[in-house]
Structure formats: C-alpha cells, structure tokens
Amino acid sequence: MIRRLARPPRLTFADICIWCGQFGCTDSECVASHNDSTWRICPDCRGTAPGWCMCAYGLVPTTSAVPDRPAWAPLESGWAR
Ligand SMILES: [Zn+2]
Ligand SMILES: [Zn+2]
C-alpha cells in the first residue's frame, strides 16, 4: 500500500513551475495536473532531496498524468522509471 504523502508546492522556491518549467506559471493545465497528482518518496535520495537529485523536494509523482520527464529534469536524470 502506498501511503499518500503531501504534494510538494507546484512552484519551486525560485517560482519555477515543476510541470512546465515556466517562471511564475499560472497555466490551468499545470494546476489541474498538480491537483490530480500523487507523490511518493524519491527512491534515489530516499526523500532527503540533496542537490544532485532531480526530484521535487524529495518526492516523485506516482500518477500517469505526469509527463515522462518534467521540463525541469535533464534527460540524463533517468526520470522515466
Ligand atoms: Zn506550469
Ligand atoms: Zn530525490
């Protein structure tokens, strides 16, 4: 059973949308995707969110509504798992 965790903020502390990578994004699709998303603890850093990890504050999305690779994640991060 997957425990439902809190969602990370949709905008990072730098005001970048974690869905589309736009600064100060107010896109209703991003808001809807974010509200529909569920998250689990990042398996790479176990939620500690060190600087090298491409997760969002130690969380990664679990739902299929999430794109294979968020705009802010580089290709080589191996996001699509
Ligand atoms: Zn956005
Ligand atoms: Zn991580």
Q: pLDDT tens digit string along 18-66?
A: 999 999 999 999 999 999 888 989 999 999 989 899 898 899 988 644 4
pTM of the model: 0.63
pLDDT at site 77: 52
d(CA 16, CA 56): 11
pLDDT above 50 (res 11): yes
User: Could you tell me how many residues make up the chain?
Assistant: 81
Q: Residues whose CB is under 5 A from ligand 1 (ion)?
A: 17, 19-20, 25, 27, 30
d(CA 4, CA 26): 25
In this structure, which ligand is nearest to the CA of 41?
2
pLDDT at site 59: 92
Could you tell me the distance, in angstroms and rounded to a whole number, from the CA of residue 64 to the centre of ligand 1? 17
Task: Point out which residues pair with 16 in neighbouring strands.
Answer: 23
For CA atoms 11, 13, 18, 20, give the dihedral sign: positive
Listed in sequence order, the residues at least 6 apart from 12 whose beta carbon sits closer than 8 Å to its beta carbon are: 18, 56, 72
pLDDT above 90 (res 67): no
In this structure, which ligand is nearest to the CA of 78?
2
